[in-house]
Structure 1
Amino acid sequence: MPETNRIEFKEKLTKEIDLEKEVIAFLNYNEGGFIYIGIDKMGTVVGVKDIDGDMLKIKDRLKTNIIPSCMGLFDISSEEKDGKDIIKITVASGSEKPYYKRKYGMSEKGAYIRNGTAADPMPQKMIDELFAKRTKTSIGKIRSSRQDLTFEQLKIYYEGKGITLNKNFAKNLELLTEKGEYNYVAYLMADENGTSIKLAKYNGLTRVDLTENPDFGYESLIKATKQVLDKIEIENKSDTSITSAERIDKRPWSSIALREAILNAFVHNDYTTEVPPKFEIFDDRIEITSTGGLPNGLSKDEFFEGFSVPRNKELMRIYKDLELVEQLGSGVPRILEYYGRECFKFSENFLRMTFPKEDITPQVKTMPVKESDESAPQVTPQVTPQVKKLIWAISDEMGREEIQTKLNLSDKRNYRENYQKPAINLDLIEMTIPEKPNSSLQKYRLTDKGKELKKLMSK
């Protein structure tokens, strides 16, 4: 993987490495980009020794040294490549260009733009033109109509993630205007507001026969988001069939795709219109509609490829803090793993996602059996000795490190490629948090099919 106009390599993180310059160049670039720490200029993976420490240093440098604030516009994650740990920084294209170094201000010495594989100083003429076009109506700049706001709900959600909001939280979370008053972001996050979040359920295929119309608004947008997620999860109940060979669960919609679509609608809705996202359930489909078409400068192809231009960087930052969203630009590609591009409909002022309902009539599957035991599944040649060892090692719910220790395996890549991944592909084990595959709380357990195989192995 060579360096490109969207990919930059850094061998290691030091004070001499001008990381801010590279990030600023991507923020000012229409497509954003990726910076990898632990890969040299030749593309050779050298790894990162103190990955947690370096990730904290990166976040602090970008938060402190770049103007306007780029919080919510970058994502820092760890990856494993060639058996070594590296850091990946995903940078979105910013909506408040030009971005520049705090130390040097809005000058050619402080502002940069991506040019091929280099970060070049931005000409003063371009700086002046971008500043003249800078968005003045973002929700971070709009003064809240109410200034008597409280944030107990938001504090509870942060405390649930082990984060205590101090007395400066409003400034740190960008809930204030330049004059120090609560902005529209604060209004949306407050315990009480006038934003109504509608969820409608209809009997039939049209909007004629309304059967349910709960309102999850007038509260913190985070609380409303969780209520919509819970309601849709109830509607997306699975139909189960249990046979002597296996248990078959089938949902009418992909729970992963629905979750991503709901979160995208909340985070990227254009709240400057004061029109919130809308969620509708029909007998044959679910429709999710958000206000605002494609962000400026983003084409449909770039949208589907996962290029990220967050409309509301302040909301993105809060949703990331609370682990509701994971990585910049990952939502749409995840949806496309389950549904086609035709499910997205764009207009000048709206984006609608329509997910057709699948037939959930259970299809009973039969499994090969041995003549001596008609109730037991036959172990196929696909089940390797490594997978059998993994199945034998797992009891209840176990974390990756715990399983590796039990198997006496030190190489994470070997475990992932030869043990875990094949077992998941064969539906023998499953994740406890499938919607967040990289969660630090992730654990693994045997499926019913895996349990049957373990019984057979014990015989």
Structure 2
Amino acid sequence: MNIETNRIEYKQIVTDDLEKEVVAFLNYPEGGIIFLGIDKHGKVLGVQDPDQLQLKIKDRIKHNILPSALGLFDIILEELEGKNAIKIVVASGSEKPYYLKKYGMSEKGCYLRIGSAAEPMPIKTIENLFAKRTRNTISKIKSSQQQLKFEQLKIYYDASGKQLNHQFAKNLELLTEDGKYNYVGYLMADNNTVSIKLAKYNGLNRVELLENNEYGFCSLVKAAKQVLDKVELENKTLATITPKERQEKRPWNAIALREAIINAFVHSDYTREIPPKFEFFKDRLEITSAGGLPEGLSQDEFFEGYSVPRNKELMRIFKDLDLVEHLGSGIPRILQTYGKECFHFSENFIRMAFPSSDQASDQANDQVNDQARKTEKSILDIIKHILGSKPTTEEVQKYKEVANSLSEEQIKVLEFASSPESNKKIQEEGLNLKRHNDNFKKYIEPLLAMGALARTLPDIPNSPLQKYFITAKGKILLEINQNPMK
């Protein structure tokens, strides 16, 4: 393991200062990670009874820190070097300063991460943060309706094996401080006026509308599932016959698309009463959510996966229902398939524009002439389409040479790794071979060296959780190889 940093803390066992470390990361602009079962030198020692320990940690963070940290932390069991360790992922909170309940908003209760340590927060900093504290959050906005029912929400929790008791409104933070339903409760209620638009156009702009679907007026969880189902239908697999074989490909990567949809639902700025919007065009899918980047989060930090949940209450509920895997996982998963250029930021909105695959777009326009058009496409156009910039003559020639040098097995690896896959799965299912280190060195390692393939965990190359996925360069090489020019 690496040494401790400003975002990583190691603890051999759970100590009395666990909450202090959590508070320090909640108050830190980038959040952080606490590993339990690892000593200060990075040696993995493991933990005993991890299931019981996870429950104990969750209970301590829930009851000993204010404002509420629910929805701002994840507790994950990980196997490191054959031993059980616990990983606590802590997001940066929007209601700073966070503090230890028993000591209040004081130097003894407030902490901030400085270097690799949690240091007491000076009174002046506490006062400045409190003055800037976000008060206009959806948990503090009183619902315009108070006769709310939550049968849909209860059904989803039951289906996830997590029943809601009579205290669920308080536990899920659906109430204001004076016990009235807040806007979170309104969004989760069976009936509301929140409309989710999903439109489909017959072109590259919004001139010719084909479909105008409207979801919502129900629990936000149900609306999200309705949109996921509709997008899944639109993202149906299309077949293309190439000179080599029949290929089946979806217009969009299903994993990235799901993450983008859930991200839009969880992180939209509902204080403006503007829900997310989904639009299908002939060549792309656009997902627009209200609100720019959260305060204090830069674009670089956004792309690196630093989590600053805009609506921690929604994040908590979506995580409970397994719609969110863990904090900060969404954007990195999207970037495994789509580049940063797909994201567009403004002061009031974030828009994600995902181009559809060439095969899907061409087949939707004219399936009969699809192969003819692809064959006529120049190498220059292929590179420009994928990278978004015009290559030099030397770059075009280099791509062509490398593409022609790929073996049949390497081409299969690139095709199979359209979404992240393990070494074992690539060899056994993609290549139909028995897993062997020689196969890795012959077919996978050269693709990594040339940048056509990448690791999901580049800093831990030998991790048992390691997977491999095709890069933009790999997509270019694959496209050239499958569409040889006359």
Band the TM-score falls in, shorter-chain normalisation: 0.7 to 0.9
Residue of structure 2 in register with 1:7 after alignment:
8
Residue of structure 2 in register with 1:69 after alignment:
68
Amino acid at match of 2:199: A
- Return the alpha-carbon distance in structure 2 between the equivalents of residues 247 and 126 of structure 1: 63
Is the counterpart of residue 358 in structure 1 residue 363 in structure 2? no
Displacement, 1:126? 1.1
CA contact (8 A) 2:409 2:431 kept: no
Q: 1:29 to 1:424 in 2, by over 3 A?
A: farther
Residue of structure 2 in register with 1:102 after alignment:
101
- Return the alpha-carbon distance in structure 2 between the equivalents of residues 427 and 93 of structure 1: 45
Number of aligned residues: 382
Amino acid at match of 2:195: S
What do residues 87-131 of structure 1 show as CA deviations (whole Å, max 9, x unaligned)? 111100000001111111111111110010000111111111111
- Return the alpha-carbon distance in structure 2 between the equivalents of residues 311 and 153 of structure 1: 24
Residue of structure 1 in register with 2:230 after alignment:
231
Q: 1:227 to 1:242 in 2, by over 3 A?
A: same
Residue of structure 2 in register with 1:135 after alignment:
134
Tell me the TM-score normalized by structure 1. Answer: 0.79
Residue of structure 2 in register with 1:175 after alignment:
174
Is the counterpart of residue 161 in structure 1 residue 160 in structure 2? yes
Q: 1:354 to 1:172 in 2, by over 3 A?
A: same
Amino acid at match of 1:30: P
Amino acid at match of 1:226: K
Aligned to 1:103, the other structure's residue is in SS state coil
Amino acid at match of 2:301: E
CA contact (8 A) 2:269 2:291 kept: yes
- Return the alpha-carbon distance in structure 1 between the equivalents of residues 132 and 22 of structure 2: 21
Give the stretch that moved more between structures: 63-72 or 120-129. Answer: 120-129
List runs of 5+ in structure 2 lacking aligned partners: 364-369, 372-407, 413-420, 435-486
Amino acid at match of 2:314: L
Listed as ranges, the matches of 1:25-40 within 5 Å are 25-40=24-39
Amino acid at match of 1:291: A
CA contact (8 A) 2:259 2:333 kept: yes
Q: 1:246 to 1:74 in 2, by over 3 A?
A: farther
CA contact (8 A) 2:25 2:90 kept: yes
What do residues 165-217 of structure 1 show as CA deviations (whole Å, max 9, x unaligned)? 11110000000000100000000000000111000011111111111111101
Listed as ranges, the matches of 1:16-415 within 5 Å are 16-240=15-239, 248-360=247-359
Displacement, 1:48? 1.6
Displacement, 1:133? 1.1
- Return the alpha-carbon distance in structure 2 between the equivalents of residues 235 and 420 of structure 1: 28
Amino acid at match of 1:60: D
- Return the alpha-carbon distance in structure 2 between the equivalents of residues 380 and 344 of structure 1: 34
Displacement, 1:427? 7.3
Amino acid at match of 2:11: K
Amino acid at match of 2:148: L
Given the alignment, which residue of 420, 428, 432 partners 1:423? 428
Higher share of residues assigned helix: 2
Q: 1:204 to 1:417 in 2, by over 3 A?
A: closer
Residue of structure 1 in register with 2:478 after alignment:
none
Displacement, 1:248? 3.4
Q: 1:192 to 1:234 in 2, by over 3 A?
A: same
Residue of structure 1 in register with 2:448 after alignment:
none
What do residues 36-84 of structure 1 show as CA deviations (whole Å, max 9, x unaligned)? 0111001101112211111111111111111110000001111122122
Q: 1:142 to 1:130 in 2, by over 3 A?
A: same
Displacement, 1:12? 1.7
Amino acid at match of 1:3: E
- Return the alpha-carbon distance in structure 2 between the equivalents of residues 293 and 161 of structure 1: 32
- Return the alpha-carbon distance in structure 2 between the equivalents of residues 5 and 309 of structure 1: 17
Displacement, 1:249? 2.2
- Return the alpha-carbon distance in structure 1 between the equivalents of residues 238 and 65 of structure 2: 51
What do residues 247-287 of structure 1 show as CA deviations (whole Å, max 9, x unaligned)? 73200111111111111100000000011110000111000
Listed as ranges, the matches of 1:438-457 within 5 Å are none
- Return the alpha-carbon distance in structure 1 between the equivalents of residues 236 and 104 of structure 2: 54
Displacement, 1:426? 4.2
Amino acid at match of 2:95: E
Residue of structure 2 in register with 1:433 after alignment:
none
What do residues 312-354 of structure 1 show as CA deviations (whole Å, max 9, x unaligned)? 0000000000000011111001100001100000000000000
What do residues 21-48 of structure 1 show as CA deviations (whole Å, max 9, x unaligned)? 0000000001100000111001101112
**Runs of at least 4 residues off by over 2 Å:** 240-243, 245-249, 360-363, 416-429
Residue of structure 2 in register with 1:437 after alignment:
none
